[in-house]
Structure 1
């Protein structure tokens, strides 16, 4: 996928998610998300941190002992903005072309797609993924060794999409919609409910 197409998908996802967040009641912002230990508000705030100055993130990394997950949690914990400010910040990112140093162009798309599901699914809100965007995200996830490394976690399993031309891995087949494949590769167990086959059963045994 061309970079311009990727950024268009990123813009679409950010704008659509901001619109969704605008509709939430106060109690929904405190709903636990698919990210363990994070609420809907935490995940939404995290998405806006991609625009934080690199110097600020480097300082937070230092204070967190250069532990990635600890740094992310620390930044979210210290973000006291009210929901309306988080929504405004996310919407302001539409049209921007900023990404953290060392990341790929597709990485903000991966974040937007996955975290959109982290927010929507616990709230019972259906949120589809464009198949071409989800396919690009799935390929990126499969090739990553940090922080998830699905190739190692799912050795012996072949993931295939039933709604688009996508297949990775070798072994027993786990088949389903590309959106559910993306969630599983990203470590979100609810995505397993959409997969079938012997590979899906095997994937459910992997932590």
Structure 2
């Protein structure tokens, strides 16, 4: 049975919008380091084209090759795909897969949307083109990743209270960190850059959590 994608219309809109925006990049911008350590813009876009193409057996096999390190396996796959496909080809793939209702069975229904929102910022922030994420898309993803143990958001911010200023959402107890849902989503996904859009008495401690 095929694993279905949550909020598919929003996923499609994000894929198509990203593809359109990527068309404007100069060749040298594809080699710029992204917010993902060791990944270029090219690598991140290549990773996003894997969302509808990965199978569980292949992912397990690649993880075994990476000595059990899933993050390393994903990085290896992204770099290999970036080496195999030129920017224009990856842009075309994003458009072709825009409405494909398929995801890796190991992932949650909202993981494809969460990946698109976060990884698009991984690309645009280093290029000086970060954007406000749509609240109606970012808020369900924030709720999802906060409850997802493999993301570790609740553990990372233990002893702090996070509160959205543009939506009815808060989590945790302690000194407060508040900001837009999009900024909190980045922080919850392990991006220190998300805290640049936040404030509150707990902000300095939150920054320390990222080292």
What is the TM-score normalised by the length of structure 2?
0.92
Cα distance in structure 2, aligned partners of 1:29 and 1:77: 13
Q: Does structure 1 retain, via aligned residues, the 8 Å contact 2:6–2:109?
A: no
Runs of 4+ in 1 over 6 A off after TM superposition: none
Runs of at least 5 residues in structure 2 that lack an aligned partner in the other structure: none
* Structural RMSD (CA): 1.5
Q: CA deviation at 1:29?
A: 0.3
Tell me if 1:27 matches 2:28: yes
Deviation digits for residues 109-155 of structure 1 (CA, Å, limit 9, x no counterpart): 10000001001111111322110111111111111111x30111111
Cα distance in 2 for residues equivalent to 1:46 and 1:33: 12
Matched, 1:94 2:98: yes
Equivalent-residue separation in structure 1 for 2:203 and 2:187 (angstroms)? 10
- Could you tell me which of 108, 125, 131 is aligned with 2:129? 125
SS of 2:202's equivalent in the other structure is helix
Runs of 5+ consecutive residues of structure 1 not aligned to the other structure: none
Secondary structure of 2:126's aligned partner: helix
Using a 3 Å threshold, how does the CA distance of structure 1 residues 187 and 41 change in structure 2: closer, same or farther?
same
Q: Does 1:149 align with 2:152?
A: yes
Question: Equivalent residue for 1:138?
Answer: 142
Deviation (angstroms), 1:170: 1.1
How many Å apart are 1:5 and its aligned residue?
A: 7.2
1:104 maps to which residue?
A: 108
Aligned pairs (5 A) from 1:48-197: 48-54=49-55, 55-79=57-81, 80=83, 81-146=85-150, 148-197=151-200
Instruction: Give 1:4 shift.
Output: 8.3
Q: How far apart are the structure 1 equivalents of 2:131 and 2:13?
A: 13
How far has the Cα of 1:70 moved from its partner? 1.1
User: Scaled by the length of structure 1, what TM-score is found?
Assistant: 0.93
